[in-house]
Amino acid sequence: MKREILINASPRETRVAILEDDQLVELMIDRPDNRRMVGDIYLGKVEAVLPGIQAAFVDIGTEKSAFLHASDLVFPESESDERDDDAEDDETEDDDEANGNGGGRRRRVKAPPIQDLLKRGQDVVVQVSKEPISTKGPRVTAQVSLAGRFLVYMPFASRVGVSRKIGERAERQRLREQMQGVLPADSGGVIVRTVGEDVTQETFKRELNTLMTQWKRIKRKTTFLRAPALVHRETSLTRGLTRDLFSTKVDSLVVDSKQIYNEITEYLKGIAPELIDRVKQYDDQVPIFDKAEIEPEIRDLFKRRCDLPSGGYLIIEQTEALVSVDVNSGRYTGKKDPEKTIFKTNTEAAREVARQLRLRDIGGIIVCDFIDMETKANRDKILQELRTHLTRDRARTKAFAVSELGLIEMTRQRVRASHYQNMTEACPTCGGTGRVFTPESTVRRLERSIKRIAVEGKKDNLVVRLHPDTAMYVLEHERDLARKLEKAVGFGLELRDDPLLKPDEFKLVVKGAERDVTQQYAVA
């Protein structure tokens, strides 16, 4: 498979696109006002300890306090916890007990009661594991890890793990023994990353010493800082990307910024000089993403509809609780056999669902409603197709068997808000629902509001302001509305259009006094 990384940089934004066989599969965006936090280490102050949910809220200086669960504290036997390893946000790939698609599951032991470990006002060193999403603050862990090119160092663990993406059991055992030979006793634990498969023991030792020295500096820094304070910032997007993703499996890395090009090549001289020839500086007049013809795909990230090659399409809806994906056959009707038609559409959909989740950076609970198939064999094939393409995802994913309702439920690791949440905001008119009341519904609400005024015995003449579309509806369909209402309530009404109003908004203003009484009477 051909893999490319394209980097488009400007003073206010850095965008990274990952292409597989010339198709955009992943997009990362970094802006100064929305900087990535995962991996940052803070000296925080415990604000509240909540035994009922075995968690604490920690002030780390962000707008909302960070959430720290008891299982993420450092306590005896926490060495059986093994951190992630093979993604920009360190995806778990620990040992032979790991499971799931594209990542392992952290094995936990029972944590002591959080009230025995933390007290209000106590200082604690924590690392961001999940960024603020929607109304929630960041999630943090006290089980700090430091990622290098070939290793992840975990000061509070004591075991050696190997990435599950290194499949050969004998090779995994060799790497584990090699690391055990360079890891000092009682100095922490490590995970060998996928790119460390062919690395020499001397290289492992050199990087381990670098990471251990970095941890000593971090610990020393916490002794003279006052909480809340940032102690260590994770490396920049481009440098982290080079560290975590750029390997012999990537054909080229093209960047349109001279400064970032120099940073990457300088960094590679120390960790992977053999890759420098694959880094290229882009200097064409045509913007790099336009040249690669991926700007239209980026614009389409925020559309509900995603078309499939055969003519079918997906409808992707993001809600607070979950993401729903609906598969439709669209204009593709096949030839004779309906089951083959449906199977082909579902196969294309399975591939595209896996790609869109990566591309849109969607996480959490995802429910996929594929077109109903008659045979279990076909349903199993679609599930396998989905799982196969999910293995390319750096985030941890898990797809469950087809449910009795014909749905495939799955989860995808979420460490930050999706592009949809980061780059868009709720419509001020509809409040994010995507819907507004029809003109007729608005007029009925208006009627009820005016009748409430009459019930209270008010007799002031009113000016009724309406959006032009609602005013046009009244003119075309209910021309005698004002006259009938005046007769019913006993005071005068004057209808006027107001283009500054929302489509389903109206205002009731006392004539002469210009006093707005809308909020008082417009309940529903």
- DSSP code string of 376-439: HHHHHHHHHHHHHHHTT-SS-EEEEEE-TTSEEEEEE--SS--HHHHH----TTTTTSS----H
Using pLDDT thresholds of 50, 70 and 90, give the confidence band for residue 126: very high
Taking the C-alpha atoms of residue 159 and residue 361, their distance in angstroms, rounded to an integer, is 31
Question: What is the secondary structure of 173-237 as a DSSP string?
Answer: HHHHHHHHTTS-TTS-EEEE-GGGTT--HHHHHHHHHHHHHHHHHHHHHHTS--SSEEEEPPPPH
> Would the pLDDT of 83 be above 80?
no
Using pLDDT thresholds of 50, 70 and 90, give the confidence band for residue 522: low
Q: Helix count (H) and strand count (E) of the chain? A: 14, 25
> Would the pLDDT of 350 be above 50?
yes
Answer with the residue of higher pLDDT: 195 or 28: 28
Taking the C-alpha atoms of residue 481 and residue 470, their distance in angstroms, rounded to an integer, is 12
Q: Tokens 């206010």 — which residue? A: 12
> Would the pLDDT of 105 be above 60?
no
Average pLDDT over residues 34-58: 91
Tokens representing 287 are 């913007």
Single-letter amino acid, residue 337: D
Average pLDDT over residues 234-256: 87
Using pLDDT thresholds of 50, 70 and 90, give the confidence band for residue 101: very low
Taking the C-alpha atoms of residue 254 and residue 231, their distance in angstroms, rounded to an integer, is 32
Per-residue pLDDT of 397-450, as tens digits, reads 999 998 888 899 999 998 888 888 888 888 888 887 888 999 999 999 999 998
Single-letter amino acid, residue 441: S
Q: How many other C-beta atoms are found inside a 10 Å radius of the C-beta of residue 240?
A: 20
pLDDT at 387: 93
Residue 523 burial class via C-beta count within 10 angstroms: exposed 0-12, middle 13-18, buried 19 and up: exposed
Q: How many other C-beta atoms are found inside a 10 Å radius of the C-beta of residue 142?
A: 20
> Would the pLDDT of 332 be above 80?
no
> Would the pLDDT of 45 be above 80?
yes
Edge to edge, the sheet with strand 515-516 lists 493-497, 462-466, 506-510, 515-516
| Per-chain mean pLDDT for the chain | 85
* Spatial contact of 49 and 114, defined as CB atoms under 8 Å apart: yes
Among 157, 158, 205, smallest CA distance to 181 is for 205
Using pLDDT thresholds of 50, 70 and 90, give the confidence band for residue 8: very high
Answer with the residue of higher pLDDT: 180 or 6: 6
Enumerate residues 6+ apart whose C-beta is below 8 A from 486.
492, 493
> Would the pLDDT of 79 be above 60?
no
pLDDT at 398: 92
> Would the pLDDT of 473 be above 60?
yes
> Would the pLDDT of 68 be above 90?
yes
Bridge partners of 497, per DSSP, are: 466
